[in-house]
């Protein structure tokens, strides 16, 4: 899905919504001027300019804005995070940024060549990426005491970068984003002269007007549009997908019959969804051993996601949002230790969660809030987080097995997800709507990792 190649000002990019086209175009120009490229992630997120604006602001702030960590450390931490999911796309981009910030070439040989201070971060990286419930005070203490110690502000900055890139790996794989034109492994297509050209966007900076009020069109190579490719994919051979009409009827029924449940019943329904999710496999086979150029950034590759419901330690209990929430606890703590980042993260979470155009497939005037909440809460359920006031029975009403499998894979095993998996799920939905589902995977996962990390930091500070 990395090959968006339609001119952003052409009719139909957002079903004729000129306001969205203009907003997206302006953001694309800004992103190009900041990064000297219009990367594929930005292009795919361009379906949702309100979200893209917050995403670009946040990413720019944590990598280039004020903060306690040196710039080369920031990009190397991004490489370490992306390595956990073998995401060569992000690793390659962050290697370039690392060198542009004056990073030492020798560090790119792998973890054996980096300062011990950075190396000490690796346990937290590994745990947050796959089993964040295992994080405890001793991990924070190990970083902040003794030689090569970190300040708490540095720890929180590093955690924000780690969680950002772990989650971004989920988005890259679940949307099928391809390598950039200047990356090894970039896709090519036959050119009219019999040669090959890369499938990435080609932008001539001389044609870009720096004025934000009247940006010129970004010239884009004329290629076969990926937008229609999902129509060519076969449906799941095992289970027919629930159609949008049925889904809308179920949402309507749930709205009309707001069921009252006792706390005991709500707990039972959460545990039921949790145990069912543990029976779901991941799409695709286990990936082969990572290429050598990725392996050098990975320690303990056998440490991967295990279902929270099957955890071995009975002392690790479900994370109840009522006890430690983003709104009441995490937001203020992260803002206190890393100035202003809480505001950016909060805007980004809320935009992804609340985003709606009141459409579903070809239908309009649809209240999608129940569907969106089911997706968000299911993602966090996979990571052992429970919202006490939510009836988890709605998840089984609104999310069918194939969608749950896709979401679980995108969140917990993103390296196994391919463009074919993207094509086979939510087949009646528009691409923009499927991208929105993947944005919720990104944000709900990031928020879950941050909740575990910030609760642990808070325990370390107060005990």
In a domain, 449, yes or no: yes
CA angle 157, 446, 388 (to 5 degrees): 120
How many domains does one find in the chain?
1
**Token pair recorded at residue 287:** 């990936």
In a domain, 65, yes or no: yes
In a domain, 96, yes or no: yes
Please state the pTM of the whole predicted model.
0.85
- The span from the CA of 155 to the CA of 125, in Å, is 11
Mean pLDDT by 10 residues, the chain (463 residues): 32 43 84 81 93 96 97 98 96 96 97 97 98 97 94 98 98 86 47 36 32 29 36 46 87 86 92 92 78 92 93 88 96 95 98 94 92 97 96 94 96 94 93 95 98 98 90
In a domain, 434, yes or no: yes
In a domain, 293, yes or no: yes
Mean pLDDT of all residues belonging to the chain: 84
- Write out pLDDT tens, residues 297-308: 999 999 999 999
Range(s) of the domain holding residue 110: 23-181+243-462
- Write out pLDDT tens, residues 334-358: 999 999 999 999 999 999 999 999 9
In a domain, 190, yes or no: no
87 belongs to the catalytic site: yes
Per DSSP (E only), the strands in 369-421 are 385-386
**Token pair recorded at residue 156:** 């929180």
In a domain, 225, yes or no: no
* Concatenated DSSP letters of 90-155: HHHHHHHHHHHTT--GGGGG-GGGS-HHHHTTHHHHHHHHH-GGG--HHHHHHHHSSTT---HHHH
Residue whose tokens read 């969140």? 411
In a domain, 367, yes or no: yes
- Catalytic residue, candidates 87, 381, 411, 412: 87
């Amino acid at each position: 899905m990395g090959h968006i190649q339609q001119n952003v000002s052409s009719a139909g990019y957002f079903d004729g919504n000129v306001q969205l086209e203009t907003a997206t175009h302006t953001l694309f120009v800004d992103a190009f001027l900041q990064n000297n490229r219009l990367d594929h992630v930005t292009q795919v997120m361009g379906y949702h300019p309100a979200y893209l604006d917050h995403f670009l602001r946040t990413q720019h702030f944590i990598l280039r804005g004020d903060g306690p960590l040196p710039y080369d450390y920031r990009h190397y931490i991004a490489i370490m995070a992306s390595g956990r999911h073998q995401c060569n796309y992000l690793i390659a981009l962050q290697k370039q940024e690392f060198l542009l910030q004056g990073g030492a070439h020798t560090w790119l040989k792998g973890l054996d060549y980096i300062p011990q201070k950075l190396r000490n971060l690796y346990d937290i990286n590994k745990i947050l990426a796959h089993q964040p419930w295992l994080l405890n005070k001793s991990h924070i203490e190990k970083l902040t005491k003794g030689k090569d110690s970190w300040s708490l502000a540095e720890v929180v900055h590093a955690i924000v970068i780690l969680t950002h890139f772990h989650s971004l790996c989920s988005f890259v794989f679940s949307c099928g984003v391809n390598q950039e034109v200047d990356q090894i492994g970039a896709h090519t297509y036959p050119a009219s002269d019999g040669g090959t050209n890369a499938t990435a966007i080609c932008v001539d900076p001389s044609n870009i007007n720096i004025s934000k009020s009247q940006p010129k069109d970004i010239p884009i190579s004329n290629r076969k549009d990926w937008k229609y490719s999902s129509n060519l994919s076969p449906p799941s051979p095992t289970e027919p997908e629930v159609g949008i009409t049925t889904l809308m009827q179920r949402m309507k029924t749930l709205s009309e019959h707001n069921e009252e449940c006792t706390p005991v019943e709500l707990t039972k329904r959460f545990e039921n969804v949790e145990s069912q999710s543990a029976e779901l496999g991941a799409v695709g086979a286990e990936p082969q051993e990572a290429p050598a150029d990725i392996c050098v950034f990975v320690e303990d590759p056998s440490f991967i996601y295990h279902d929270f419901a099957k955890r071995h330690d009975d002392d690790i209990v479900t994370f109840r949002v009522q006890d430690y929430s983003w709104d009441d606890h995490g937001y203020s703590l992260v803002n206190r230790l890393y100035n202003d980042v809480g505001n950016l993260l909060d805007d980004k979470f809320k935009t992804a969660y609340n985003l709606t155009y009141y459409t579903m497939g070809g239908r309009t005037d649809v209240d999608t809030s129940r569907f969106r909440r089911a997706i968000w809460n299911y993602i966090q359920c996979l990571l052992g987080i429970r919202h006490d006031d939510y009836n988890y029975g709605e998840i089984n009403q609104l999310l069918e097995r194939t969608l749950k499998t896709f979401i679980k894979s995108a969140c917990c095993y993103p390296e196994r997800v391919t463009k074919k998996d993207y094509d086979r799920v939510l087949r009646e939905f528009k691409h923009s709507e499927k991208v929105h589902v993947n944005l919720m995977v990104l944000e709900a996962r990031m928020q879950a990792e941050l909740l575990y990390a910030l609760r642990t930091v808070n325990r370390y500070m107060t005990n």
